[in-house]
Each structure stands twice: as C-alpha cells, then as structure tokens.
Amino acid sequence: MGAILLDTGFDLNHIWKIMLSFLDPITSFSNLQINPVRELKELCQSHNWDFEVPASKKGRTFSVDVTLNGKDMNISASASSSNKKEAIRMASEKIYARLKVKPVYLWIFFTCSSPCEITDSYSEIIN
C-alpha cells in the first residue's frame, strides 16, 4: 500500500481507483445468486422445517409442489416444466421470493397460534 502511495505521488483519487479495481472481483462475487433450491434447503435446516418435493409427470411435463412444513407454518408453491430440476427450481424460487420480499409471511409464521397455511391465494390479500 505504501509503494502505491509513493508511486502515485500521494494522489488519493488515483489510489482509490487502484483499490477499487482490486475490490471489483469481490463486489461482483457478492452479486452472484445462489440456487434457490439450495437456499431453501439451508433455510429449512436452520429452522428444522421439512422440505418436500412431490413430483408427477403427465406426458412430457413435470409438475412439482415444493412444500415447507414447520412447527407453525406451511407454505407451498407449484411449477411445471419439461425438466424436473427446472420445475423444482421455479417452485423454490417462488417460495424464496415470498420469504425474502414479503416479511409479512415471516411475521405470520412466528405469530400464528395454530398452524398457518400460506398458498398462492394469500398473495392477493398481502399484495
């Protein structure tokens, strides 16, 4: 760092440009998105929730219902695709988007006295 300072003639603007170029790979790495299936599985493990993925196939189309079951909550999402892994990813993405964007869902999970069931029909109420 000292050599850069001396070489630039103590020009802090130039030093910041150099330092930000060093940090650029780190900042772009933080923008990477983890697979939503992996994120949900890790979330379920940390909260002792069950992660279920029943799938069915009709013709060339796979239909999946990803379900999270916990002590006081139940949330599910469905998706269909010609690829089973893609269908699971799409349904997991729907659930993870709800949990990430809608803190109301988390509030419901932890404040319900009896098990709550959150499905696509509730999205109309919260939106």
Three-state SS sequence of the chain: CHHHHHHCCCCHHHHHHHHHHHHHHHHHHHCCCCCHHHHHHHHHHHHCCEEECCEEEECCEEEEEEEEECCCEEEEEEEEECCHHHHHHHHHHHHHHHHHHCHHHHHHHHHCCCCEEECHHHHHHHC
Question: In this predicted structure, what is the pLDDT of residue 123?
Answer: 39
Question: In this predicted structure, what is the pLDDT of residue 90?
Answer: 92
Question: In this predicted structure, what is the pLDDT of residue 82?
Answer: 94
Question: In this predicted structure, what is the pLDDT of residue 75?
Answer: 85
Question: In this predicted structure, what is the pLDDT of residue 116?
Answer: 46
Mean pLDDT per 10-residue section of the chain, whose length is 127 residues: 80 85 69 78 86 90 90 85 93 83 52 46 38
